[in-house]
Structure 1
């Protein structure tokens, strides 16, 4: 049997309920089992999946605690770029702590394109070094800022099926904490951003999303520490930024109408009236889910000029109890704060008097969107990191990673369905699709995407310091999971990949033909205290044991 033959995606989906032996049989063309499920080639297949007579499956791989990227037989991975690698002719280098990825095809190609990669943070142990006397030097600060932001990689699949980095691509470049960004929308030049219309750099870039017009949105999440370390104003960060991977002349911008908070992922679609609708997650504990609806409507012929849709509209937060979207307005915030019978939510760290000083005008609602949402009755949940629009009309999947302070150690995945299947609606229903932990077969769901059938691909992000211990011990290292037929009684949770020691996968995405997946491997060796004794050596250079975060291509899927 040829175990190296690529495994068909159709065979993979049909494999559900049949065990690893069937997967290997599918890769070789041998039909060892009869009566296996057939995956239909339409989105509805996901929500009415028929399984065979077997009711349990061992998954594709078993949990692993080895210091390697583990995949099922028949699949392989190639490192496209790791921290410090040169990415273009100019000599720019790949940043640190890579996170979200997004493939932008060149002329519709599935084998030639640009890969957008976020860089979420820079670890002093590996990057800039510890501060001296509590302060970073100018050189250290420059290195801190340079290694955040994003990398744009030219990549292609060779004739032998191997993905490679093209350092000669005219599009390869870095966007960093040193670049200039324009503020757009209601908080531009506002008092709460110190009266400026232009700010320095983008920091703490966690996740993102692609616009309807083909540009890239990326959310600033872990921005508090690096902005403080660099001596930069806090309110200049925590925004959704926009760039065009194909056009270095496209003005970099931060859209304040989308609100300032610890942005997770960003998902854009259309309402039934043609408005641009943007869903957003917040990576903080006790955080809310957001939706923005543009005032204007999307016009295909306008191309990237549609970016103006993100400058004027209404920002909402989800009240999960009343199942409604709450508009964030200054009048409503002030009415609540001036009501002496109103009790501040416990998770707000400001006093009533401090909040009345913060909230003076509508711009302040966007700058302090998290506080405004809680004041107006939006429901805080346990780190709603990722929002993903489903092929099922009007449906949104949401990962809630975990919150130990709530006793929610393993997180959950929920599904929000808009009224009348309209993404522009202001009412919705919500249900839990999967609870993390032993019954859900995974812990701490983080990044999430859907394939063309609507199956979910979910990464996990257990705390590095607690992996392989206590309540997390049985799950071993973080992984990448396929949840097949997610809202059906025949749902299956299958582990597809295991990450190296201390690491986590982040931001998976497919090439258009879904024959290749790209995914970031974050913070291998995160528990290292002494550089000379790292807890991982994954992606280290020859002759070195220093681990490096990297982005990889996974191949082995075929039709």
Structure 2
């Protein structure tokens, strides 16, 4: 951050005393002139109000705070079997695989990914933490299949250890973050939990008539809604569905959960499309409709957005969930800079012109067929195949869209890049957009394979990396060492320059970064440490190095040490 003048330091001091009253001068200084100009030009920023904050669900800070993130001495890449942080920072392990999370004896699942924190009574030190569980490792969980088949007991373990965990968490008097296993809020949502289907595919032949389905799994990332529920995304669901003998049309959806109410029926929203979902980013169009952006995390797959037909009503609370049942799914055509509506009429019209017309017309008869076979419909309509679009985030400062394209080695995009979309008139409901490559992975930037993204209140983009365990510390990936976490300014003279904040343990990736609203705590998941272990008596990692452990354990941590500038 640039050195402040004496007058600016006075403004900053006054803001610290009255953190809800940041003045415009301090805001502009804190973000830098580049961010201020962009925000003022594209968002019509005249005063710092909640109206702009409502543009995105995933960032609670809005423009109310002069917070703490981004002030650290960057670390160097390392291959240590540890979660390495800058000087002055520490982490607390909140929960690791197998830990008991409630009095019923439920246990924390495997390979934790996305995290989202829900404050209790506005607290920054007490709340509910949802954590995704993406997949299992048979070496440590269900055991290897015999003759290609799992036993019923193995299938139960496979399904139970995916889905999500809800933890009651708090920061104690010594500043240590802990889980409360006696809380009534602690519960699991798993591959065994009953779900309701909503939207155009529910009850149709495209899902074999189902209106309710069993379970959720392959939960990668997700997002928060504007009405204080969570969305979790089913990504690489195919193998688990096959191993468990389940109908795969029931998976690959976006699910919704109310973390505070176990009696609220969990649901899968088919209107948002079925594909290999990474996450969601929710915001509002200028006319008040809900917009949800999504990426399909596989090679040569597309970027999507859903726009509700109805308008968001803050007074309706979680009844706004119905908005995710009725709307239009769009796919991005990046060559034209246009969002293409994925309606049954448009799909059938395109099918009429295809060489395999009869096959396509038989496949796409209803809107249910369109959302179930979303990728195929998108390709037919001219959606642009991209390089593994993973996390998507809406900038709360200017409504631009950041997309982590992790990589696509079949196209020579070895290290991936981060794309930035500019919606026409900064309206999330727009039908046209422009885009740029915001940052490219590689030796020149110090990071490779960007994955999950989040913003802080000073306009920085935080990203974690997803170099495959088999490639870490070898070949063209050698200089990056272990996977890490990086901070990239989005404006000012250091725009696009990555600074490393964390390095993960051996063969792990860091996932699911989420700040408390005051940005004094960063929640982070450490996924699959020691993933390449072949001999359980000789694991390649022993993180988190807890006394008595005989295996590496995925875990979710709370990072503290952030300070006011």
| TM-score normalised by L of structure 1 | 0.88
Structure 1 residue aligned with 2:297? 283
Helix, strand or coil at the partner of 1:377: coil
For the 8 Å contact 1:81–1:94, the answer to whether it is kept is: yes
- Structure 1 stretches of at least 4 aligned residues deviating more than 4 Å after TM superposition: 13-16, 38-46, 351-354, 486-491
- Aligned partner of 1:458 among 460, 463, 471: 463
- Structure 1 residue 430 and structure 2 residue 431: aligned? no
Q: How far apart, in 2, do the equivalents of 1:46 and 1:458 lie?
A: 21
Between stretches 38-47 and 294-303, larger displacement belongs to: 38-47
Distance change in 2, residues 1:281/1:480 (3 Å): same
Q: How far apart, in 1, do the equivalents of 2:34 and 2:151 lie?
A: 54
1:515-534 alignment to 2 at 5 Å? 515-534=520-539
- Structure 1 residue 68 and structure 2 residue 73: aligned? no
Runs of at least 5 residues in structure 2 that lack an aligned partner in the other structure: 5-25, 38-70
- Structure 1 residue 178 and structure 2 residue 192: aligned? yes
- Aligned partner of 2:504 among 493, 499, 503: 499
- Structure 1 residue 191 and structure 2 residue 205: aligned? yes
Helix, strand or coil at the partner of 1:465: coil
Q: How far apart, in 2, do the equivalents of 1:405 and 1:513 lie?
A: 42
Shift of 1:438: 1.2
For the 8 Å contact 1:482–1:495, the answer to whether it is kept is: yes
For the 8 Å contact 2:82–2:544, the answer to whether it is kept is: no
What does the per-residue CA deviation read over 1:205-245, in whole Å, with 9 as the maximum and x for residues that have no partner? Answer: 00000000000101100211111100000100000000100
For the 8 Å contact 1:59–1:493, the answer to whether it is kept is: no
Distance change in 2, residues 1:134/1:46 (3 Å): farther
For the 8 Å contact 2:195–2:265, the answer to whether it is kept is: yes
Aligned residues: 510
Structure 2 residue aligned with 1:131? 145
Runs of at least 5 residues in structure 1 that lack an aligned partner in the other structure: 1-12, 17-37, 50-56, 343-350
Distance change in 2, residues 1:487/1:441 (3 Å): farther
1:79-478 alignment to 2 at 5 Å? 79-340=93-354, 354-478=359-483
Distance change in 2, residues 1:438/1:193 (3 Å): same
Helix, strand or coil at the partner of 2:498: strand
Distance change in 2, residues 1:487/1:241 (3 Å): farther
What does the per-residue CA deviation read over 1:268-327, in whole Å, with 9 as the maximum and x for residues that have no partner? Answer: 111011101111111111111111000000111110100000000000011110001000
Q: How far apart, in 2, do the equivalents of 1:90 and 1:285 lie?
A: 41
Structure 2 residue aligned with 1:34? none
Q: How far apart, in 1, do the equivalents of 2:404 and 2:492 lie?
A: 14
Aligned residues: CA RMSD: 2.0
Q: How far apart, in 1, do the equivalents of 2:3 and 2:146 lie?
A: 56
Q: How far apart, in 2, do the equivalents of 1:95 and 1:499 lie?
A: 20
For the 8 Å contact 2:489–2:496, the answer to whether it is kept is: yes
For the 8 Å contact 1:68–1:499, the answer to whether it is kept is: yes
Helix, strand or coil at the partner of 1:370: helix
Q: How far apart, in 1, do the equivalents of 2:159 and 2:33 lie?
A: 46
Structure 2 residue aligned with 1:550? 555
Q: How far apart, in 2, do the equivalents of 1:518 and 1:292 lie?
A: 28
Distance change in 2, residues 1:44/1:264 (3 Å): farther
For the 8 Å contact 1:277–1:291, the answer to whether it is kept is: yes
For the 8 Å contact 2:439–2:496, the answer to whether it is kept is: no
Q: How far apart, in 2, do the equivalents of 1:244 and 1:232 lie?
A: 25
Q: How far apart, in 2, do the equivalents of 1:548 and 1:489 lie?
A: 37
For the 8 Å contact 1:433–1:487, the answer to whether it is kept is: no
For the 8 Å contact 2:128–2:167, the answer to whether it is kept is: yes
Shift of 1:338: 2.5
| TM-score normalised by L of structure 2 | 0.87
- Structure 1 residue 508 and structure 2 residue 496: aligned? no
